[in-house]
Amino acid sequence: MKHLTTILTSLLLSSSLVAQNSDENYWAYQPVQKVSVPLVGDPKTKNPIDAFILSGLRGNGIKPNERADKTRLRRRLSYDLTGLPPEKTGMSWEELVDHALDSPRFGEKMASHWLDLVRYSETNGFERDSAKPDIWRYRDYVIKSFNENKRYDRFILEQLAGDQIPDKTLDSCVATGFMALMQRDDEPADRPQAHADRISDIVDVASEAFMGTTIGCAKCHDHKVDPISQADYFSMMSFFDGIRQDLFKSANHTWNDPEVVRKREEEKQVNRGQIEELWGKVDRQLLQPYLKRSKNPREIKTSWLFLPKVPKAPGWSLPSFDANGVGFTKLDKAPPQQDGGSPFGLWTSGNPRSILDLS
């Protein structure tokens, strides 16, 4: 992933990629140079950004608007930073700015812009438009990152390789949900082509969101204007090509909170003892007629042995289970059986939906 970062950076900053002739002399691909702050002679201009803006306005014969009053400034501040109308407070301007930046709503407002860039969606598109389980956790990761003022280089790194970095965290693993945002056809006619389309989507969105440039044209040919070749495009695709297909479908194990996993395992261990105790009461010989009908005899097991706890109605999956002992009753009138009936009968807990025949 170190090399991918190098490619992303070099495409924008390397002097070897700067367009040479006047037709391609676009400002975005020029080497970064330090420039002097223009002298505008305006006492109201208190920072370099204002000086550059005012100089540009004057150069085009445009007169700036009058300074906004306090009410308008408060509204602009609140809507720009939180997306909400201003609160009625007696804070100074500096306190208002700090209050807006400290608000959880700040991260939500900033995240709304980022999620637009990366095409955030909670469904896969195409005709079924199935849901993307747990992708909301990526959305929350973005909100949290803005509220924590995370460094931008770290923000990018976590989304591209958060599950591979040495100091990975649960947050950095969730960040890789960026690559699961793309459209996904769950029943493609051409699976290799569908995979290539998803990887191409990742490259396109990564270049637009992280680099601020579109490189999609280079998928078919060297860019006619921008200094990006077809080889550059497929070099970037190669970094993402090894992503397993199932990871596009849903969250993977790296998204699991270790503390939640630990508690779940402890609960399973407690329930395992109960399950083994119940399984020990099974009369194995009563199961033999059922097992002999199987073309592939196997060790006697039941599906709920693999569940984290004993089901509410174990009788239907264990024909010889002592159903009476746990409150189940045998049906007086069982449905007719095509093969002469089950040697184990039917058991119910009173819920018609729990009635199953094991013959």
Q: Is 332 a member of any domain? A: yes
Q: Are residues 151 and 246 in the same domain?
A: yes
Q: pLDDT value at position 301?
A: 52
Q: Is 21 a member of any domain? A: no
User: pLDDT grade, residue 258 (50/70/90)?
Assistant: confident
For the beta carbon of residue 5, count every other beta carbon within 10 angstroms.
Answer: 16
- Please give the residue that has the higher pLDDT: either 335 or 85: 85
- Please give the residue that has the higher pLDDT: either 194 or 288: 194
Q: Are residues 57 and 132 in the same domain?
A: no
Residue in the block written with tokens 């503390």? 259
Tens of pLDDT, residues 134-167? 889 999 999 999 999 999 999 999 999 998 899 9
Q: Are residues 250 and 112 in the same domain?
A: yes
Q: Are residues 190 and 313 in the same domain?
A: no
- Please give the residue that has the higher pLDDT: either 9 or 289: 289
Distance from C-alpha of 107 to C-alpha of 289, rounded to nearest angstrom: 64
- For 207-345, where are the alpha helices, taking DSSP H only? 230-240, 246-249, 258-279, 284-292
The number of domains in the chain is 3
Q: pLDDT value at position 216?
A: 87
Q: Is 15 a member of any domain? A: no
Q: Are residues 146 and 225 in the same domain?
A: yes
Q: Is 89 a member of any domain? A: no
Q: Are residues 250 and 283 in the same domain?
A: no
Distance from C-alpha of 193 to C-alpha of 203, rounded to nearest angstrom: 15
Q: Is 359 a member of any domain? A: no
Domain that includes residue 47, residue range: 35-67
Q: Are residues 193 and 321 in the same domain?
A: no
Q: Are residues 173 and 126 in the same domain?
A: yes
Q: Are residues 214 and 117 in the same domain?
A: yes
Whole-structure pTM value? 0.67
Q: Are residues 230 and 169 in the same domain?
A: yes
User: pLDDT grade, residue 227 (50/70/90)?
Assistant: confident
Q: pLDDT value at position 307?
A: 57
17, 52, 67: which is the final residue of a domain? 67
Q: Percent of the chain beyond pLDDT 90?
A: 32
Distance from C-alpha of 142 to C-alpha of 149, rounded to nearest angstrom: 11
Environment class of 59 (CB within 10 Å of its CB; exposed 0-12, middle 13-18, buried 19+): exposed
Q: Is 60 a member of any domain? A: yes
14-28, 195-209, 211-225: least confidently modelled range: 14-28
Comparing CA positions, the residue from 167, 135, 122, 130 lying closest to residue 255 is: 135
Q: Is 155 a member of any domain? A: yes
Q: Is 85 a member of any domain? A: no
Environment class of 237 (CB within 10 Å of its CB; exposed 0-12, middle 13-18, buried 19+): middle
Q: Are residues 175 and 294 in the same domain?
A: no
Q: Are residues 159 and 286 in the same domain?
A: no
255, 282, 301: which is the final residue of a domain? 255
> 3-state class of 342 per DSSP?
coil
Mean per-residue pLDDT, 268-277: 75
